[in-house]
Structure 1
Amino acid sequence: MPGNVAEVALRGPAQLADALPYLLGFHPDDSVVVVALHGERGRFGGRIRIGIPARPEEWPALADQVAACLETSCTSRGERPDGALLFLCQDPAVGETAGAVMERLRPLAQRLRTACGEREMPVYEALCLADGRYRSYCCPDPHCCPPEGNPIAMSGTSPMAAAAAYTGLRVRGSLRDMEARLTALGPPEASHQQRELDAAGAALVPRMLVCEGRRAVRAETLALAGRLMERFRDTVPDAEHWPTADAHDDGLLSDTEAATMILGLQDRKTRDQAATWMEGLDVAPALRLWRALARRCVGPYIEHAAAPLTLAGWVAWSGGDETTARVALGRALHTDPEYVFAQLLQRACNDGLDPEPLRRGMRAERAARLAAQNRARSGSGPRTSP
């Protein structure tokens, strides 16, 4: 296997089912996952995860898109897939059995297998994971893959788990949990936050529509961001339980501060300058801050979350956490599919690019901006916007 994981041979559906969370970094919910295979030994390559559409009429287009993306993304990195693995992950609805989930999703599995086969990427195994059990769409042997399914191995007992522990690879809970950390707060907090967003919008938007006012709001927003970064650096949650840690971070932000930041980050230059908190000791507090701000984008302001979600994705990717980056950027594009910064970052992250060239550009821009500010303060040059 590539990346951080030591080489480990996986044999049979049981070990493949157990390996899936380690391949993604989380337990997928309501997901189609396709993993590229390379060479005679079936080395793992690129992988694609996408939500399962609720409407079956959308499945053919989804299958074609997933197969095309898998082929294109792997080929762009210089290695065309020789085959693929398919996982359909969905827990039963109320009153539904895991076996019924498998049969309901069977047409989707077949369409995905056909779409990959048409591109000469045969699907060597297709598994349905539901309610803690796996079932194979490919294996006809009832002794190996009985109709009632097989239980997924107890966490931490498989060869993949041993390899992951050896290399420090983490599984960050479920996708549902990771997305919950980026989702708007509910009542009663949401109503208080919306009132502050309304007030901040009334105060800031008219100023942001004129040049001088926009420069002033930019400076004020970045100054506030700097103070909040110091606060988040100095006050670190001591809880491992993520809801408790997030509640701690929510308590570090007043509704007024959150509203001011959210409105201010809608300015592209402000957002880009905020993105320079991107490395070293800034990574952890910045990720917590942007995540907390995304949770404050409530009610009619939900689309404003694209900016803090994209910043969360960027700082996570810059800090080496590709799993969190992909989830945050996915949420940003779900919020605003046309958000260009999120589109570019997601493509770069999925293509396995190194974030360092982007960091170098941001460092150079920040240095030039600070130099211009210093010249302006000393009176040796024209005043430049912050």
Structure 2
Amino acid sequence: MNAHHDHTGPHDAGSAGRPVPVTTAGFTEEPHVTLRGPAELAEALPYTLGFFPTDSVVLLALHGEHGRFGGRLRLGIPPSPREWTPVAEQLAECLVEGCERRGARPDGIVVFLCQDPARGESGRRVMERLRPFAQKLRTACGALDVPVYEALCVSDGRFWSYCCPDSDCCPPDGTALAPPGTSVMAAAAAYAGIHVRGSLRDMEARLRPRTARPAATEQERALDIASAALVHRILSTEARGKVRDDTIRLARSLVDRLADHPPLADPDASDTRDDALISHQEAAELIVGLQDRRTRDRAAEWMEGREADHALRLWRALARRCVGAYGEHAAAPLTLAGWVAWSTADEPSARVALGLALEADPEYVFARLLHQACNEQLDPETLRECLRGEREARIRAGVRRPPGTRAAGRAGARAVRRGLRAATGRSGATARATPDTGPGTPGPTGTPGPHSGARSARRRPAGPTGTTGRRPAGSPSGTDAEDAGGQGSAR
């Protein structure tokens, strides 16, 4: 083992010439995986996150003399170098403080910068371009008295170390990563039943709007028509109840329709087939209807068993239909997709969906609370029990109420949020989007969002906006207080 490998890890791990044992997030008691040097660290990264990070900065906390992996944190690489200093400081603070809240300040940190080359760019050029960011991350961690043991750039199937000056150990052209599935971490993951879901880019593509013309134009026109027909009814005391019932009835029919067509082996082909099963009008009516929070909370009840699988396909399909000026409308189906993924123990997919929901609308309360709860490794059963209780109360009220009267249980959305806030122990009024973190490493409030870099500007509280900046006429908006009176809302 070369000198660089000998000294990759905590203070005494290299000096004694011993390999660095690492227990990654996702493994509980067994197996313990020993990683020897930067090559195996780079190859292990997708298994600690559940996917191959693209365009991401990842920080992994190390604990103890053997360098056991603790919390992890991922953020999209800010495109502007002007953002690198404040982002580096916030990321370091987020990871260290998060670990401290769980009672274990990290002894060291490993930094990864993962980005594919742009057209005409080499992996080595990516590494050099990101070198100042790596240095700022090392400086920010050092300012908190937590050293960075290793900083790696992963690009174009190769990796480079920012910490090793030895060209014999770390050649200027980088070191090739092992073929997928052949590393020691891949073997351990297969043994533990851990699945890598592909690249972050592929996971996001399943949830982002599909903008190919003319389908996108037809979908936006259908959304215009649905907004004109439904928004004023959602905001009407007399009509909103029927709109909610009609929206849930339509969603139920689409879930059943998708259940009649099992997913295909190829994810892209399966998504394309799902899109074809849902008309533009159906998608538009359901997207607009889900802007009402109580309707959305009722839809969140499809969270378990095979029903959850079919509902997840529907929420993904609706997110892909939020085109043009209706980008913010995607927050509702994306949050539902994130909730179903988290409820069914797919935390990597949940974080991706919730991150995109917060990208669509950073002030979407339900997404913020779910993202925080997911990052803090809370048990989703707390929210499942709340939703089951809401469903049972609604059913009982529907049986007892006289004809022509309103059902009881008007505060369904508030009850759902109370369940989440009780679990997180924080007020939804102060919760903010946090970077993706691992077990025991929640991001503090006020940290940057999962895809937004150092975004600090506040968006409008509700309602759709798009690349054109226009807001469709009559779009619903609201605040948390509105739900107390049963008002329609997009939160």
Q: What TM-score, normalized by structure 2, do the two folds share?
A: 0.76
Q: 1:195 aligns with which of 206, 211, 221?
A: 221
Question: Match for residue 115 of structure 1?
Answer: 140
**What amino acid is aligned across from residue 110 of structure 1 in structure 2?**
Q
Q: 2:174 aligns with which of 149, 153, 158?
A: 149
Asked if 1:57 is matched to 2:55, the reply is no
Question: Match for residue 235 of structure 2?
Answer: 209
Residues in 2 aligned to 1:86 and 1:325: alpha-carbon distance in whole angstroms:
23
Q: 1:167 aligns with which of 192, 195, 217?
A: 192
Question: Match for residue 266 of structure 1?
Answer: 291
**What amino acid is aligned across from residue 236 of structure 2 in structure 1?**
V
Asked if 1:86 is matched to 2:111, the reply is yes
Shift of 1:373: 0.7
Residues in 2 aligned to 1:33 and 1:305: alpha-carbon distance in whole angstroms:
26
Shift of 1:376: 2.2
> RMSD value over aligned CA atoms?
1.6
**What amino acid is aligned across from residue 269 of structure 1 in structure 2?**
R
Q: 1:97 aligns with which of 99, 102, 122?
A: 122
Shift of 1:93: 1.8
Structure with the greater relative contact order (CA < 8 A, sep ≥ 6): 1 or 2? Answer: 2
Residue pair 1:73, 1:351 contacting (<8 A) in 2 also:
no
Question: Match for residue 124 of structure 1?
Answer: 149
Asked if 1:338 is matched to 2:359, the reply is no
> Residues 34 and 163 from structure 1, CA distance in 2 versus in 1: closer, same or farther, beyond 3 angstroms?
same
**What amino acid is aligned across from residue 124 of structure 2 in structure 1?**
G
Shift of 1:380: 12
Contiguous gaps of at least 5 residues in structure 2: 1-22, 411-491
Residues in 2 aligned to 1:229 and 1:135: alpha-carbon distance in whole angstroms:
47
Question: Match for residue 183 of structure 1?
Answer: 208
**Identity, % of aligned positions:** 60
Residues in 2 aligned to 1:261 and 1:381: alpha-carbon distance in whole angstroms:
25
Residues in 1 aligned to 2:171 and 2:358: alpha-carbon distance in whole angstroms:
40
SS in 2 for 1:170: coil
> Residues 145 and 380 from structure 1, CA distance in 2 versus in 1: closer, same or farther, beyond 3 angstroms?
same
Question: Match for residue 37 of structure 1?
Answer: 62
Question: Match for residue 220 of structure 1?
Answer: 246
Residues in 1 aligned to 2:169 and 2:382: alpha-carbon distance in whole angstroms:
49
Shift of 1:262: 0.2
Asked if 1:275 is matched to 2:261, the reply is no
Residue pair 1:77, 1:351 contacting (<8 A) in 2 also:
no
Shift of 1:385: 7.4
Residues in 1 aligned to 2:294 and 2:77: alpha-carbon distance in whole angstroms:
36
Question: Match for residue 92 of structure 2?
Answer: 67
Residues in 2 aligned to 1:108 and 1:257: alpha-carbon distance in whole angstroms:
46
> Residues 148 and 382 from structure 1, CA distance in 2 versus in 1: closer, same or farther, beyond 3 angstroms?
closer
Residues in 2 aligned to 1:76 and 1:348: alpha-carbon distance in whole angstroms:
15
**What amino acid is aligned across from residue 42 of structure 1 in structure 2?**
G
Asked if 1:371 is matched to 2:399, the reply is no
SS in 2 for 1:9: strand
SS in 2 for 1:84: strand
Q: 2:348 aligns with which of 323, 339, 351?
A: 323
> Residues 88 and 3 from structure 1, CA distance in 2 versus in 1: closer, same or farther, beyond 3 angstroms?
closer
SS in 2 for 1:204: helix
Residues in 2 aligned to 1:98 and 1:287: alpha-carbon distance in whole angstroms:
36
Residues in 2 aligned to 1:65 and 1:245: alpha-carbon distance in whole angstroms:
39
> Residues 210 and 242 from structure 1, CA distance in 2 versus in 1: closer, same or farther, beyond 3 angstroms?
same
**What amino acid is aligned across from residue 251 of structure 1 in structure 2?**
A
Residues in 2 aligned to 1:68 and 1:4: alpha-carbon distance in whole angstroms:
23
Q: Report the count of equivalent residues.
A: 384
Residue pair 2:72, 2:95 contacting (<8 A) in 1 also:
yes
Shift of 1:259: 0.5
Residues in 1 aligned to 2:365 and 2:97: alpha-carbon distance in whole angstroms:
20
Shift of 1:149: 0.7
Residue pair 1:83, 1:124 contacting (<8 A) in 2 also:
yes
Contiguous gaps of at least 5 residues in structure 1: none
SS in 2 for 1:28: coil
Q: What TM-score, normalized by structure 1, do the two folds share?
A: 0.96
> Residues 56 and 2 from structure 1, CA distance in 2 versus in 1: closer, same or farther, beyond 3 angstroms?
closer
Residue pair 2:25, 2:69 contacting (<8 A) in 1 also:
no
Shift of 1:296: 0.6
Residues in 1 aligned to 2:404 and 2:224: alpha-carbon distance in whole angstroms:
41
Residues in 2 aligned to 1:241 and 1:364: alpha-carbon distance in whole angstroms:
37
Question: Match for residue 26 of structure 1?
Answer: 51
> Residues 352 and 118 from structure 1, CA distance in 2 versus in 1: closer, same or farther, beyond 3 angstroms?
same
> Residues 62 and 360 from structure 1, CA distance in 2 versus in 1: closer, same or farther, beyond 3 angstroms?
same
Q: 1:301 aligns with which of 282, 302, 326?
A: 326
Shift of 1:140: 2.1
Deviates more, 1:171-180 or 1:95-104: 95-104
Question: Match for residue 236 of structure 1?
Answer: 262
Shift of 1:3: 4.9
**What amino acid is aligned across from residue 234 of structure 2 in structure 1?**
M
